[in-house]
Amino acid sequence: MRRILLGLAMAVSVSTAALAADRWVHIKVEDGGVNGEVVRVNVPLSLAEKVLPAINTKELHGGKVKCNDTKIEEVDLRAILDAVRAAPDNEFVTVESKHNHVRVAKSAGNLLVKVQESKKSEKVKHGTVDVSIPFSVIDALLSGAKDELDVLAAVRALGTIGDTVLVTVNDENSKVRIWVDSRNTTE
């Protein structure tokens, strides 16, 4: 009996560990054009985590992207992030113009960016962009040197969060959705 219980406990712990490890990032792009193209990409985070350090190009090295833009270096992103994190849930920036409505807010540990196209333009008509990034992921992304983004750390952090929709783009021509969950298919 003891053996059976021990076996059951081991099976449960192994399957739980496997479930925790199997996190997938999904990208779905629907083009509303003449071709009506739909692209679905499913990538296991574990694969991205292992592959990233092995890619060494000019920009990406050891899972980190070098930002040589002096404008980025001049802005202390970490200080801004610390200030935002310490603040209560709120709307921080609202920009309303003739064509756009931009909102940057903090809600339930996530940084939210919402962009709404309020008037028809030539390229994009009535488009909306919603970005929701957990602070843990942003922290990880900015955990490297001042002039670099630690993509690998961000991917690791994505693996620890629950099922989340990260990016949604909707306009008359296309729909884009990027999300993380534990399924290996988009549907």
CB of 17 to other proteins, least distance (A): 13
Which token pair is 14? 């192994």
Altogether, the residues listed in the chain come to a count of 187
Residues ≥6 apart with Cβ < 8 Å to 167: 129, 130, 131, 132, 176, 177, 178
CB of 176 to other proteins, least distance (A): 15
CB of 115 to other proteins, least distance (A): 27
Beta carbon nearer to other proteins, 170 or 186: 186
CB of 43 to other proteins, least distance (A): 7
Widest distance between CA atoms in the chain: 73
Beta carbon nearer to other proteins, 44 or 181: 44
CB of 63 to other proteins, least distance (A): 11
Give the count of alpha carbons within 13 A of 126, CB side only.
1
Q: Does residue 168 come out as left (phi exceeding 0), alpha (psi in the -120 to 50 range) or beta?
A: beta
Beta carbon nearer to other proteins, 41 or 80: 41
d(C-alpha 156, C-alpha 78), whole Å: 19
Site for other proteins, rule CB under 8 A: 22, 31, 34-44, 46-47, 50-51, 54-57, 184-186
d(C-alpha 10, C-alpha 60), whole Å: 40
Beta carbon nearer to other proteins, 58 or 71: 58
- Give Cα 72 to chain centroid, integer Å: 20
Beta carbon nearer to other proteins, 34 or 93: 34
